[in-house]
A and B are shown apart, each in its own frame.
Chain A
């Protein structure tokens, strides 16, 4: 069951080979055994989860099961869940119990899924290594000395270590795809607006998008079916006909035009990663795909543009954490300004404080045009690059991350090196495009390499189709880390 696909699990539940309670306990046991080592979960509540599993078993017994009924799902601790501690990896929310359910949580409850626990993450999703959490760093299941990637590192590690069959994350600059790559699992960031942001604690509103983690593209499709769809509570949510993201999974790839961006194979790309990606491209050739060389000339500007826009929005989004109404408040203060200052200085970690400072600076009077406005123009140029590219190809494929997982602590003192981890993933966020990362081999130290697939707007089904056909021919996604008993 630990290695089973969601369809296999669902079928086991339907045929009463296992109950949801047993399944939930199985994964809770796995979490209990491994979390001390990996620190993938911030909150686990066995009683509550088993209670939900019992209810799911009731639905299954009544024949009222939906595809995910009874299946445990782990959620990044950025999603507010009623009566669950919801910390966003921060001290400032270390006492915050959710008073309502996020849209995504509601969707999973509605589907009869079981909330397995809340996963660890970089504080406020700011980071690429899951080291900045107030709850300590997440460890990579493939090598506990390494980071799992971030910011959704807890969810990625949970899937890799088989502590959960499915999980959710959020992706602002690569926070689903990069940890998926570094942890050897599958992750999808949908088109901006496909999944409601209601109840997802905002980092950079114009970039944030929720998405699923799983072991396979097929599982991602089943999870996306649950969370996609219009929500009037989010003004940026897109109203469109619901679709079945599994519908094109089996479509042959003959004639598929694969765009290969030369900019993503140049300087900075580690040779081991390049080699694995090249092998994957060759595999796709064999499946009938045609390679097209494309240019994304403005993608070199994506990291600087991103590090203006995202901190700008974050500096404003995080203003509500002021100690006045909820969350952590400093103990000793002399007046209001002192209360704000101490609460925020003590409640936020270093990286969050750095980004608030950057964001405040770039929005300041006299700097706005030079930074924020210019970054928005670059953003448009990057989107235009993709528009041009998708005239010539159906999907853009390259490496997800320039390197495999790095050692814990290796980049914490050099923010720019840390930021460059997301050089290949950020353009999709700036353009609002759907993108996925799937395992495509191993590099130095036997650490996983991720293949990055970017599609045109609303082409999630196409991305999943390519990934699924690739996974039918390969078994990288079935590999699991050794030594986890």
Chain B
């Protein structure tokens, strides 16, 4: 009997505000320890929190982007526990009434599109950092990160594979950057995922879940989930029981291990923070934020599908990231509506492959969208063939100049002069009596070999369509 896998993700996206969630201290990364911790962040006696409007605005933006409900009144609550990197002894978060409820994110996997519903998204502050090395048996505390604004985004347990979970995480990652609320820097911890994983027999009630904490790369997320699925299935198949617990993924050992079980879970004693009034959001504010929203990935992919006559799949792929979408659209507009499909193929093909090879994002592509468009125009107007274009592309990527310069310098212009091609064809036919005979006897392969020889003779520059046509005419079959 098979197992069904059930995954829900909790994602912490650090909001890209200049100052902290409840204090005026800077949120910039990498400062010397404790230099960005204000009186509020270190929880001096008598200090009070004041909510950061820019963080609230970003949460509204997120709610609008996922089609969630923006609660007109939400409540900050205190989550109480003792830890040295939590100076107040409580974290200010949202508990019963979060700022955003519901909404959905559409993901794309090999199996097609799937909508993953969101439970909620709420505002909270980050804790500081405990440093356990370099202090001779003591621990150091860096409170620079304490109070950094986070949006915790909780999905419904609707993902059924590690692949879907990663697709969800990537789509969410792209979305938060798309709408400009998070820089998405995973190394610096700006975007972290906790994975809730359980398995069950199809149709059975939900199994006991484990939560794997703070996975900070997509690859680790996939590895952690795969490990956890395998671990749980093995336990269950051996007749064991899953313990509800929090686990930690160790990338060095590629395994998850138990951090704490439900028994030693904290009682956080949540209650509304009496230092902060309920967060009230007016209709006007929401309308204002709505008016400034960029075109969203779903809207853009719909538009690409119709305006550029792409397949739905291609339109979705191109709108996975804002930078890619913008790159494509710039190129498509320059090369012309009729050849947008060509632009799409090149962006998803050669451009994506080159970026992958170098491990950089499209914003750092060696060929700009307008430069690519010039190359594509040369294909479209028959100056070069697609095959030659790949050579030109590689040269452009290597920084050898513009498409036209390279075509000129290397003499790559396509031969479309019928007379010239006919002459070469005649030469080839004369030299290859055997293949001509084979072809006429019904062996189609022989034709391809003849085309190949013509192309070789012209160093690939002959217009392939013309070569085909002339050969067929001359061979007369």
| CB atoms of A93 and B88 under 8 A apart | no
Q: Which of B48-56, B219-227, B366-374, B419-427 contacts A (4 or more CB under 8 A)?
A: B48-56
At the interface, yes or no: A326 with Cβ under 8 Å from chain B?
Answer: yes
| CB atoms of B276 and A235 under 8 A apart | yes
Total interface residues on A, CB under 8 Å, equals: 42
* B269 CB contact (under 8 Å) in A99, A316, A320, A326: A316
Q: Which of A48-56, A199-207, A299-307, A461-469 contacts B (4 or more CB under 8 A)?
A: A199-207
* B271 CB contact (under 8 Å) in A79, A100, A316: A316
Which residue on A lies nearest to B37, using beta carbons?
Answer: A325
Task: Name, among B42, B45, B48, B277, the residue most crowded by chain A CB atoms within 10 Å (CB to CB).
Answer: B45
* Closest CB in chain A relative to B304 CB, distance in Å: 45
At the interface, yes or no: B46 with Cβ under 8 Å from chain A?
Answer: yes
Whether A320 contacts B267 in the complex (CB less than 8 A), given A232-B50, A235-B277, comes out as no
| CB atoms of A197 and B44 under 8 A apart | no
In chain B, residues 127-143, which have Cβ atoms closer than 8 Å to a Cβ of chain A?
141
| CB atoms of A316 and B89 under 8 A apart | yes
Determine the distance from Cα of A368 to Cα of B45 in the docked complex, in whole angstroms: 26
Determine the distance from Cα of A303 to Cα of B275 in the docked complex, in whole angstroms: 22
At the interface, yes or no: B39 with Cβ under 8 Å from chain A?
Answer: yes
| CB atoms of A363 and B82 under 8 A apart | no
Q: Which residues of A contact B46 (CB under 8 A)?
A: 79-80, 102, 197-202
* A235 CB contact (under 8 Å) in B50, B88, B89: B50
Determine the distance from Cα of A197 to Cα of B269 in the docked complex, in whole angstroms: 24
At the interface, yes or no: A413 with Cβ under 8 Å from chain B?
Answer: no
Determine the distance from Cα of A368 to Cα of B80 in the docked complex, in whole angstroms: 14
| CB atoms of A100 and B39 under 8 A apart | yes
Interface string of A312-327 (1 = CB under 8 A from B): 1101100111101110
Which residue on A lies nearest to B79, using beta carbons?
Answer: A316
Q: Which residues of A contact B270 (CB under 8 A)?
A: 363, 368
Determine the distance from Cα of A312 to Cα of B90 in the docked complex, in whole angstroms: 13
Whether A365 contacts B45 in the complex (CB less than 8 A), given A235-B50, A320-B87, comes out as no
At the interface, yes or no: A45 with Cβ under 8 Å from chain B?
Answer: no
| CB atoms of A99 and B80 under 8 A apart | no
* A316 CB contact (under 8 Å) in B45, B48, B78, B87: B78
Which residue on B lies nearest to A124, using beta carbons?
Answer: B45
Whether A320 contacts B82 in the complex (CB less than 8 A), given A204-B274, A325-B87, A360-B269, comes out as no
Determine the distance from Cα of A364 to Cα of B87 in the docked complex, in whole angstroms: 21
Q: Which residues of B contact A233 (CB under 8 A)?
A: 48, 50
Whether A368 contacts B277 in the complex (CB less than 8 A), given A100-B39, A319-B90, A320-B45, comes out as no
At the interface, yes or no: A346 with Cβ under 8 Å from chain B?
Answer: no
At the interface, yes or no: A3 with Cβ under 8 Å from chain B?
Answer: no
At the interface, yes or no: B84 with Cβ under 8 Å from chain A?
Answer: yes
At the interface, yes or no: B47 with Cβ under 8 Å from chain A?
Answer: yes
At the interface, yes or no: B43 with Cβ under 8 Å from chain A?
Answer: yes
| CB atoms of A313 and B274 under 8 A apart | yes
Q: Which residues of B contact A206 (CB under 8 A)?
A: 274
| CB atoms of B45 and A96 under 8 A apart | yes
| CB atoms of A93 and B45 under 8 A apart | yes
Which residue on A lies nearest to B86, using beta carbons?
Answer: A319
In chain B, residues 256-304, which have Cβ atoms closer than 8 Å to a Cβ of chain A?
267, 269-271, 274-277
Determine the distance from Cα of A205 to Cα of B51 in the docked complex, in whole angstroms: 16
* Closest CB in chain B relative to A338 CB, distance in Å: 12
| CB atoms of B50 and A320 under 8 A apart | no
In chain A, residues 280-313, which have Cβ atoms closer than 8 Å to a Cβ of chain B?
312-313
Q: Which residues of B contact A96 (CB under 8 A)?
A: 45
Q: Which residues of A contact B50 (CB under 8 A)?
A: 232-235
At the interface, yes or no: A416 with Cβ under 8 Å from chain B?
Answer: no
Whether A235 contacts B51 in the complex (CB less than 8 A), given A316-B89, A320-B89, comes out as yes
* Closest CB in chain B relative to A369 CB, distance in Å: 11
Q: Which residues of B contact A325 (CB under 8 A)?
A: 42-43, 87
Determine the distance from Cα of A406 to Cα of B245 in the docked complex, in whole angstroms: 55
At the interface, yes or no: A340 with Cβ under 8 Å from chain B?
Answer: yes
At the interface, yes or no: A424 with Cβ under 8 Å from chain B?
Answer: no
Q: Which residues of B contact A202 (CB under 8 A)?
A: 46, 48, 275
Q: Which residues of A contact B88 (CB under 8 A)?
A: 319-320
Determine the distance from Cα of A181 to Cα of B46 in the docked complex, in whole angstroms: 27
Which residue on B lies nearest to A205, using beta carbons?
Answer: B274
* A197 CB contact (under 8 Å) in B48, B78, B89: B48
Q: Which residues of B contact A324 (CB under 8 A)?
A: 84, 87, 141
| CB atoms of A234 and B39 under 8 A apart | no
In chain A, residues 192-250, which have Cβ atoms closer than 8 Å to a Cβ of chain B?
197-202, 204-206, 232-236
At the interface, yes or no: A428 with Cβ under 8 Å from chain B?
Answer: no
| CB atoms of B82 and A322 under 8 A apart | yes
At the interface, yes or no: A88 with Cβ under 8 Å from chain B?
Answer: yes
Q: Which residues of A contact B48 (CB under 8 A)?
A: 197-198, 202, 233-235
* Closest CB in chain B relative to A359 CB, distance in Å: 9
* Closest CB in chain B relative to A260 CB, distance in Å: 32
At the interface, yes or no: A328 with Cβ under 8 Å from chain B?
Answer: no
Determine the distance from Cα of A165 to Cα of B141 in the docked complex, in whole angstroms: 45
Which residue on A lies nearest to B88, using beta carbons?
Answer: A320
Contacts A319-B90, A320-B88, A326-B44 known; 9 new A-B pairs at CB < 8 A: A198-B47, A199-B47, A200-B46, A205-B274, A235-B51, A319-B80, A322-B89, A365-B269, A372-B271
Give chain B's interface residues, CB within 8 Å of chain A.
Answer: 39, 42-51, 78, 80, 82, 84, 87-90, 141, 267, 269-271, 274-277
- Between A and B, 20 residue pairs with Cβ closer than 8 Å are A79-B46, A93-B45, A198-B47, A206-B274, A233-B48, A234-B50, A235-B48, A235-B276, A236-B275, A236-B276, A312-B271, A313-B274, A320-B88, A322-B82, A322-B89, A325-B43, A336-B84, A363-B270, A368-B270, A368-B271
Give chain A's interface residues, CB within 8 Å of chain B.
Answer: 79-80, 86, 88, 93, 96, 99-100, 102, 197-202, 204-206, 232-236, 312-313, 315-316, 319-322, 324-326, 336, 340, 360, 363-365, 368, 372
